[in-house]
């Protein structure tokens, strides 16, 4: 079971060898979509956990399971625990919020090809990945980006984490 969950996390967040697919996502949320959003506070790998206290990771799985971790537990190497199940209307809203960020067709300067290996170079970012059918796209947005921030805040609210 754990191996299956880890495989899902890697598939959702994108393996380092998987090419980014720039197919257009459907306007209506597909039943198989997944979403991963991380707040990377800008601390480099290897910094003490206390310096990463504001880090956060949220993964919405195709079955509606919402996984969340904050602080030192928000490591890309760890699969966050399930904190709740999200209903279909809420999932649809998250799909629309994710598309509103522009993650499906990001500017080359914010495009991320391997989100699990992404290095923000010390800059705080909101890292967004969506996956659907045969498509996947990731981008790193400035924390002041209103659409990325709204998506991050909504996931935090759903996971009962104060944004």
What pLDDT score was predicted for residue 71?
Answer: 87
Residue 81 belongs to what domain range?
2-158
Could you tell me if residue 149 is inside a domain?
yes
Angle between helices 146-158 and 88-100 (to 10 degrees): 160
Q: Is the pLDDT of residue 95 over 90?
A: yes
What pLDDT score was predicted for residue 44?
Answer: 54
Q: Is 7 exposed, middle or buried (0-12, 13-18, 19+ CB in 10 A)?
A: exposed
Domain count, the chain: 1
For residues 31 and 25, give the distance between their C-alpha atoms in angstroms, rounded to a whole number: 12
* Segment 99-115, tens digit of pLDDT: 999 998 777 888 888 88
For residues 132 and 79, give the distance between their C-alpha atoms in angstroms, rounded to a whole number: 20
The enclosing domain of 138 has a CATH number of: 3.30.1560
Could you tell me if residue 163 is inside a domain?
no
Structure confidence at residue 14 as a pLDDT band (50, 70, 90): very low
């Amino acid at each position: 079971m754990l191996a299956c969950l880890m495989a899902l996390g890697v598939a959702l967040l994108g393996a380092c060898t998987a090419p980014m697919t720039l197919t257009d996502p459907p306007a209506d949320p597909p039943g198989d979509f997944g979403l991963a959003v991380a707040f990377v506070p800008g601390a480099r790998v290897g910094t003490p956990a206390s310096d990463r206290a504001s880090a956060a990771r949220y993964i919405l799985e195709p079955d509606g399971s919402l996984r969340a971790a904050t602080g030192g537990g928000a490591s890309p190497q760890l699969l966050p625990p399930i904190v709740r199940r999200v209903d279909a209307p809420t999932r649809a809203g998250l799909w629309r919020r994710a598309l509103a960020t522009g993650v499906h067709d990001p500017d080359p300067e914010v495009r991320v090809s391997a989100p699990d290996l992404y290095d923000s170079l010390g800059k705080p970012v909101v890292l967004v990945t969506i996956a659907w059918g045969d498509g996947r796209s990731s981008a790193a947005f400035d924390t002041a980006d209103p659409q990325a921030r709204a998506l991050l805040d909504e996931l935090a609210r759903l996971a009962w984490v104060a944004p």
